[in-house]
Amino acid sequence: MKRGIRAIASMRFAIAILLLLGIGSAIGTLLPQNEAAAFYLQQYGNTWGTIIYQTGISHVFTTVWFAILAVLLCISLLFCVIFRAGRILQGIQAQGFKAYLALFGSWLLHAGILLTIFFFVLGNATAFEDTVRNVPGTVTKVEGTHLSVAVDDFTMDVRDDGTVDHYTTAARILDDSGVRAEGNIQVNHPLTVDGYQFSQNATGYAVTAYIDKDDEPIGHAPLFLGEYVTADEDGIVLTLLNIYPDYIETAEGPATRSLEMNRPYVLYRVYYNGQDLGVRLQAVHQPVHVGAYRFLFTDPAMSTVLAVRKDAWAKWTGFGAGLLFLGTVLVFFAPQNAQKETEAEE
Amino acid sequence: MHETYIRIENITFTIALLLYLLAMVLYFITIVAKKSLAKPARYAVWLGFFLHTAAIVVRGIGAGRAPLSNQYEFATAFAWGIALFFLLFERKYRFDAMGAFVTPLLFLIMGYASMLSREVRELMPALQSGWLVIHVSMAIIGYGAFAVACGVSLMFLAKSYSQRARDAGLPELEQLDRVSYRAVQFGYLFLTLTIITGAIWAQYAWGRYWAWDPKETWSLVTWIIYTIYLHVRRKNRLTDTGAAWYAVIGFVCVIFTYIGVNTLLPSLHSYV
């Protein structure tokens, strides 16, 4: 038992785990992550595709083996920190704090790494994460929280050269008691309420789809880019693929002259009674007939996508990182006398 | 950017590049032909560094922002960091051969910068943050220190493996090890700061301080390699070449983090 603990606390063990974590992390960046099994089979063939998916190389950072490696590193660091603490305390009592500053820094560095990993894992395991899509003038409940987002306006400031200067969402964050926060959300300028951070994440388009059957309205719903609406128990399904605000036909296909909604056209896919009728292009406000159904796209608008995240442990991860940094400064730049003695003893 | 600024930047950058090349050749002659040309080589680096600084400052003034936001700007700043650390270490430890191993890295990065587009572009929304300057400055200093550590570790390896290198009058292994270790210490400290400041910035920009983005992950891989270097060196100081190899591998990771990730892997950092 004692020998096992000593082995886990050893530098050799920690280095081996670090090396494996490094190799695993590198692989995680070299292979596309979190795709469906079919993707890997298609890209790498049956044998390699199966190996990649089954071993978890397709989703390295959420695999059991990656988690086990992180836990082993934490255990190793924990033993290392505990064992060293007693020795350093004894040394400080005998020779004073200054002589042991570098060794204390080394201890702090290891404790900092331990806390950073621990709170990172804890934070990710317990974090709330969602995205909210809105068009101006709408209110959307953030599911799983007590908050809603009201978007009053969304603007995209474009420079003369066509590049984007700012995406700005004028938003109010609401709960049962009323408005909790109000302001412009931009990239680098989030809005935070009760630990929930609302960040400008993306932009897109949306329309409202009206669907009739036998000339009777059967529903209408906002339709965001990449999403679908369905009605009459999937009798009709519409997927929004793109919107051309200022539509123009070119040799390469449909395009837009500007971002102004001068001549909006909708690119969509339609399924009728389970049958894929293909991709179609349609001007807004012009009805389309498919069998007994009639549908119509209205109110084309830019939509804003806000990322909502709450990580109750982020500050503690920051605390761990702070200790890590402070420890690094001390271990490298404080007097090394005691450290050399301890190394010699080791 | 105004035409005058572009012209001044181009001239100062090009002369700096040529001076670094000249320094590299002079340092080579110094160790290969054993002719003492280290002094003019050192002057060439100093002058190159001065003009290089001027090129960066002029670009910053012309662009109206810190010139740290695209591949070219980071490459030239990276080379500037290498030159800075080389001059500091060369001044402190005073051995001429260091130049023969570090100036090629400096020239390589500078040469890479010279092949990139120098067009000044406005900042995209994610880069419009005060954290840009802090985060990238930390990276430049850290990477510069790692380049020096790599050059000195290459000397260590050359001296360990080659009789010819031993005959060339390279410094003692102990001194090389000490200099490399000091450079890695600086680099490690600033790489740690780079990762921490990047995480804080990511929290503001994207609401998530760590997302396993390739750039983040490769910074972590680099940090892991240098962590291993520090431990291996502590255990086996001068008895084998392990630590020196880790210092070289670490710098390969630095280069991959900077160039490889941007060109080969899809990343949120594709603009840097």
Domain limits, chain B: 3-118+125-264
Residue with tokens 């549908």: A295
Residue B212 contacts A where some CB pair is shorter than 8 Å: yes
A18 contacts on B by Cβ (under 8 Å): 224, 227-228
Own/partner pairs for A163-167, CB < 8 Å, 24+ apart? A163/B121, A163/B122, A163/B124, A164/B124, A164/B125, A165/B122, A165/B125, A166/B125, A166/B128, A167/A200, A167/A203, A167/A304, A167/B125
Residue A11 contacts B where some CB pair is shorter than 8 Å: yes
Domain limits, chain A: 2-30+63-127+313-345, 129-204+306-310, 205-302
Q: Residue B271 — very low, low, confident or very high, per pLDDT cuts 50/70/90?
A: very low
Q: Residue B151 — very low, low, confident or very high, per pLDDT cuts 50/70/90?
A: very high
Question: pLDDT over 90 for what percent of chain A?
Answer: 67
**A135-169 residue pLDDT tens:** 999 999 999 999 999 999 999 998 888 889 999 99
**A260-269 residue pLDDT tens:** 899 999 999 9
Q: Output the six-digit token pair for A259.
A: 């971002």
Question: Which residue does chain B place closest to A11, by CA atoms?
Answer: B231
Q: Please give the pLDDT value at position B94.
A: 84
Contact in structure between A166 and A157 (CB atoms under 8 Å): yes
Helix (H, G, I), strand (E, B) or coil at A196: strand
> Mean pLDDT over all residues of chain A?
91
Which has the closest alpha carbon to A75: A9, A145, A173? A9
B232 contacts on A by Cβ (under 8 Å): 15
Q: Output the six-digit token pair for B52.
A: 């290089």
Residue B208 contacts A where some CB pair is shorter than 8 Å: yes
Which has the closest alpha carbon to A295: A208, A227, A228? A208
Question: pLDDT over 90 for what percent of chain B?
Answer: 68
Which has the closest alpha carbon to B207: A200, A150, A151, A203? A200
How close, in Å, is residue A277 to chain B by CA atoms? 34
Q: Residue A3 — very low, low, confident or very high, per pLDDT cuts 50/70/90?
A: confident
